[in-house]
Chain A
């Protein structure tokens, strides 16, 4: 029996997951700024308030710290809150509750309870929103034991992973790239989940492994298709989850291709790709490397407003193409 598959946008897939979760489990409710009648800054919650009412699609005051903490407290009593940060950047106002409370309560209390909440982070650049509305902060959260951090790349994954995140007993930080919201793709009807700890090979190849997540998966695939005509075979791995990280999928791939490029939008230094590179350097795949590992990450500056500057601040397809060519051909 196969569920019917139709095309949905990434944001429609999120909305569908939220609706299914609320239908299946009366404990699930949504909180966030302007997620009710406004429908969310990116129209992700849309009309859900009309379907589920204001008690389950709760507009919160502009109080990110208490908003996040209210989610923590409700989760402690067994509710299943899904808190939307209007922009991922605003989570900086809530770091206390996320890092000191949500992430640590289960451990600090000796495993006697858990904090089953989801926080959604519309993130990333490309919208001309400048330095305080464009960041990719996922690596910050991935540095905190106790949090799970995921970055789905497709409408299919975003629905299945969000349903899994809402069911998960621990706090899940759910990163959504704003430029993906309008992207369409096949999404099965009804309920299904995708694991929160497994990477996926999106494109098989033999010459070089490109590890990416979220929007960078699409850029990596585009780059891979461009260099295919030059006879370069690129394997693209979609990490999907940053914590826990599926190291073994990356190690297996690099063992085969002998080359690694990590592409990520967050700041290059101490970023997701830094961790992937280090994991390979420590692994059995290190001896198989035929080229230095390359990290393509965000520039060492806040995200600028000017569109040309903004594009230059994060890895683009031509950057990935060049990195692939250099890595495979040994041109430095």
Chain B
């Protein structure tokens, strides 16, 4: 039975089309289940290091990712699983990287904080707050130098907006009108420090003014809002008009990392945001618009579950890197390896 709706379909949804919207919802579920799977794997002892989960922030990653084309690039953060999946990463190789396996995206050398796949335009998550900002600007400079019609999306968190790298990068990108979009995922806390306590402006997007570029604050848990802002900013960047700063207001349901005891926020606040879950909101919206049915959603969730289970198994059964290869990727040429003293 076709779901009837009297609501007007937003223009951006018409432009994207139902298959893309369904694909976006699937990616949001994939991110969610990937991270829940990662948590489970951690509990099972399959993951050796820490992890930073973005559960609750999926609309932000996918709302931007859905607007990117082949040839576009992203830089990401320590909380970057969602960005990777949104850019097209395969959870198989992500889990393998998590588990420290030789089949992982970084052959087990990087782990959760360094997942990258340059071939598909993912220049890498980053363990340093603000570390990806200048790199994104440099990548955008390379695109401009080679006259490619591509853009770079630079994801970072609210914490990074107080790093010098943020300000230096926005200035240079604005100065040279580079094809880069700065997406600040403001999840309210840099580890334990709230933006109210860390940041002198109410909205991080206000800081765009200092660099004479557009700055917009959007409801980061609303897929449509994020996608609209991303569409405008990416078009602007692609046409040579320069960068935009998008502030995406969102929330991480989980703690900062595995060491977090949630001492800096209230249970009520967390529950309030869980009620504002981006996946549930997007599903309701698509159903109300008659673009998807509950059955479609159930089928999609089941297929994601199978994909995640398969990915975990692939990773679990993959070989570990050889100890003998410890220093293998330090330099490109073997002659550069520091010789042992005779």
User: Which A residues are closer than 8 A to B by beta carbons?
Assistant: 29, 55, 60-61, 63, 65-79, 81, 96-97, 100-101, 105-114, 145-146, 148, 168-170, 196-197, 243-245, 247-248, 251, 279, 282-284
Contact = CB atoms under 8 A, between A and B. Distances in A.
B168 to A, nearest CB: 3
Interface stretch (B12-20, B121-129, B229-237, B289-297): B121-129
B134 A70 contact: yes
Contacts, number: 171
A61 B176 CA distance: 11
Interface stretch (B62-70, B138-146, B269-277, B311-319): B138-146
B324 to A, nearest CB: 15
B336 interface: yes
Pick from A69, A76, A169 the residue with the most CB of B within 10 Å. A69
Contact of B142 (A68, A73, A251): A73
Given A76-B123, A114-B332, A170-B336, 5 more contacts: A77-B73, A77-B138, A101-B135, A110-B329, A112-B117
B116 interface: yes
A72 B117 CA distance: 16
B106 A66 contact: no
B284 interface: no
A66 B133 contact: yes
A35 to B, nearest CB: 15
B243 interface: no
B128 A70 contact: no
Contacts of A168: 332
B109 A77 contact: no
A55 B126 CA distance: 29
Contacts of B329: 106-107, 109-111
14 contacts: A61-B172, A67-B134, A73-B142, A76-B123, A77-B138, A79-B141, A79-B142, A97-B131, A101-B128, A109-B124, A112-B117, A244-B338, A251-B341, A279-B341
B145 A55 contact: yes
A76 B139 contact: yes
Interface string B139-176: 11111011000000000000000001100110110010
Given A76-B138, A78-B142, A106 B330 contact: yes
Interface of B: 73, 75, 104-110, 114, 116-119, 123-124, 126-128, 131, 133-143, 145-146, 164-165, 168-169, 171-172, 175, 327-333, 335-339, 341-342
Nearest to A285: B342
A68 B127 CA distance: 17
B168 A110 contact: no
A202 B168 CA distance: 44
A96 B114 contact: no
Contacts of B171: 61, 63, 66
A107 B336 contact: no
A228 to B, nearest CB: 30
Pick from A68, A76, A79, A110 the residue with the most CB of B within 10 Å. A110
Which 10 A-B residue pairs are closest in the complex by CB-CB distance?
Answer: A69-B134, A73-B138, A110-B107, A66-B168, A111-B329, A77-B142, A70-B138, A63-B168, A73-B135, A169-B332
Contacts of A66: 133-134, 137, 165, 168-169, 171-172
Nearest to A252: B342
A68 B46 CA distance: 37
Nearest to B140: A73
Contacts of B106: 108-110, 112
Nearest to A106: B329
Contact of B337 (A68, A96, A110, A244): A244
B124 A73 contact: no
Contacts of B105: 109-110, 112
A283 B342 CA distance: 5
A149 to B, nearest CB: 11
A279 B169 CA distance: 42
A110 B109 contact: yes
B336 A197 contact: yes
Contact of B138 (A61, A74, A114, A243): A74
A251 B340 CA distance: 12
